[in-house]
């Protein structure tokens, strides 16, 4: 993975996040809470080839430990259990979340640095959301 992505970031803005959550089937009340949450994301590289993606907000503290290309079980901020595989395409970290229940949907989350900001693009079917995070360390 590009070492440029390693760091801690704070959410600065979101575009279309509520529509993205609605597409996932997140209930109205949880969408409102998540939309207003303070979010800190941290990407850590460990010495053993593993990476950690931490996602801390005012209502959930989650992390996933992974190796590129290897599926791992993950619980998402909205409580879904998914099978996640991270890949790297140049300097983009791509997270494929495969639903484990028939009534849930797959998502793709792409993270990349642009002008010192972590740009996170979330895709679920035809709905796309873009979240911009500023480096805080």
Domains: count for the chain: 1
pTM of this prediction?
Answer: 0.93
pLDDT in tens, 78-95: 889 999 999 999 889 999
H or E element: which one contains 135?
strand 127-135
pLDDT in tens, 20-67: 999 999 999 989 988 889 999 999 999 898 999 999 998 889 999 999
For residue 76, what is the domain's CATH number?
2.40.128.20
Q: Residue 35's pLDDT is what?
A: 86
Domain housing 104: 3-135
Dihedral (Cα; 31, 58, 45, 116), 10-degree rounding: 80
């Amino acid at each position: 993975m590009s070492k440029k992505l390693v760091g801690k970031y704070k959410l600065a803005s979101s575009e279309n996040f509520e529509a993205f959550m609605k597409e996932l089937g997140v209930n109205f009340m949880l969408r409102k809470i998540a939309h207003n949450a303070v979010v800190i994301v941290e990407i850590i590289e460990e010495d053993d080839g593993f990476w950690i993606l931490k996602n801390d907000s005012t209502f959930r503290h989650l992390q996933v430990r992974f190796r590129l290309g290897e599926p791992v079980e993950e619980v998402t901020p909205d409580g879904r259990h998914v099978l996640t595989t991270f890949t790297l395409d140049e300097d983009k970290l791509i997270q494929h979340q495969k639903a484990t229940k028939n009534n849930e949907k797959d998502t793709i989350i792409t993270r990349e640095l642009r002008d010192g900001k972590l740009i996170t693009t979330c895709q679920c079917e035809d709905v796309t959301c873009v979240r911009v995070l500023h480096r805080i360390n």
